[in-house]
Homo-oligomer: A and B are copies of this chain.
Amino acid sequence: MKKTALAHANIALVKYWGKRDAALNLPAVGSISMTLEALSTHTSVDFRDDLPGDMLILNGRPAAVKQEQRVGAFLDLFRREAGITAAAEVVSENNFPTGAGLASSASGFAALALAAGAAAGLPLSPTRLSELARRGSGSAARSIYGGFVEMKAGERSDGTDAVAVQLQNAAYWPLAMLILITSEQEKELGSTEGMNRTAQTSPYYPAWIASSVSDLVAMREAIAGKDFQRLGEIAEFSCFKMHGLALSADPAILYWNDLSVTLIHEVRRLRRQGYGAYVTMDAGPQVKVICLPEDAPKLQQQLGQIEGIQRILPTAIGGDARLIND
């Protein structure tokens, strides 16, 4: 039976970088994210006996073989659990640019997990869905939930404790984010490759892992106390620590472009003028600005004056991944 799901992207406020197990995709550090309303993936899965193999249509086009294989291997987890062998037709649409550091794999694998589980007739709890989504992409585990979400690094070797939990739902504290698209090109180095090189070559990697624990504690407290300034400061600290870590790899990993740096300086300048705005960035050149919803329009107006920005996506905090009727 064909099932369709919708999941939102998320942006980590306390960053995930590094795996403790590559095969099970277990993170070396926990992370805390904010789910994003405006960025979503809409995915349908149909297990059918008449298909010669899995088929993936991504944003209206047949996907590359490598992507189809990655999705096929992911669907195997569901087929194994449901005891079925049928191939699937998967149709997936992002409403935002793919592969440019906007976490399309997060919303993508969360929506795919939800749709595949339902299509295979499996009664999966959100925790189990989160665990399965993680196998597709580390950050996808967080996109099962809306609001503020913590991904646990876990300790077990089978990964059953490396799952996300919702800290607070979207209604609890309606933060906003401006996503400043500085380039629509695909990033040069994917995050998995970047994480591997960092773990293998950076002298800072152990300190990165050790120091993430106090960031998680501080971020939980900032969310519990709705302390926006503290949330922003911890988010920037974690973000720049992650990018500093990547820079310390050999050879150095630099996800930024010229405009990224202009925008980092501009947000700092706006903050000195009294604006409540904090930067976070992932494995790509886009700059995300965390703000209060009432400040989003004037910040968008200010930042929109910077030359070269491709576009600005404003977004509210988003809700849970969910099954939908087509």
Binding site for B on A (CB under 8 A): 203-204, 206-208, 210-211, 233, 236-237, 240-241, 243-248, 250-252, 254, 256-262, 264-265
Tell me, in angstroms, the Cα distance from A244 to B201 when the chains sit together: 14
Across-interface contacts of A240 in B (CB, < 8 A): 247-248, 252, 254
Tell me if A258 and B248 are in contact (CB < 8 A).
no
B247, A247: Cβ atoms under 8 Å?
yes
Q: A204-B248, A258-B261 are in contact. List 4 more A-B contacts (CB 8 A).
A: A244-B248, A244-B252, A254-B261, A258-B258
How far is it, in angstroms, between the C-alpha of A318 and the C-alpha of B243 when the chains are bound?
35
In the assembled complex, the CB of A6 is this many whole angstroms from the nearest CB of chain B, namely: 35
- 8 Å CB contact of A247 from B211, B241, B258, B265: B241
Copies in the complex: 2
Minimum CB–CB distance for A155 against chain B, Å: 21
Contact of B251 with A236 in the complex, beta carbons under 8 Å: yes
Q: Counting chain B CB atoms within 10 Å of each CB, which of A204, A236, A241 scores highest? A: A204
Residues of chain B within 8 A (CB-CB) of A204 are 204, 207-208, 241, 244-245, 248
Q: Pick the contact of A248: B245, B250, B264 (CB < 8 A).
A: B245
| Residue pair B246, A257 in contact (C-beta under 8 Å) | no
Q: Which of B206, B236, B247 contacts A244 (CB 8 A)?
A: B247
Contacts of A247 in B (CB 8 A): 240-241, 243-244, 247
* A210: nearest chain-B partner, CB-CB: B203
Residues of B within 8 A of A245 (CB): 204, 244, 248
> How far apart are the CA atoms of A260 and B259 in the complex, in Å?
11
Within the assembled complex, what's the spacing in Å between the Cα atoms of A251 and B243? 14
CA–CA, A302 and B233, complex, Å: 40
Residue among B211, B243, B246 making CB contact with A203, cutoff 8 Å: B211
Contact residues in B for A265 (Cβ distance below 8 Å): 254, 257
Q: How far is the CA of A264 from the CA of B207 in the complex (A)?
A: 26
Bound CA–CA A240/B254 (angstroms): 9
Minimum CB–CB distance for A273 against chain B, Å: 16
| A207 CA to B244 CA, complexed, in Å | 13
How many angstroms between the C-alpha atoms of A233 and B206 in the bound complex?
Answer: 23
In the bound assembly, the distance between CA atoms of A208 and B205 in angstroms comes to: 11
Chain B nearest Cβ from A153, distance in angstroms: 17
Query: Does B254 lie within 8 Å of A264, measured CB to CB?
Result: yes
Return chain B residues, CB-CB under 8 Å to A210: 203
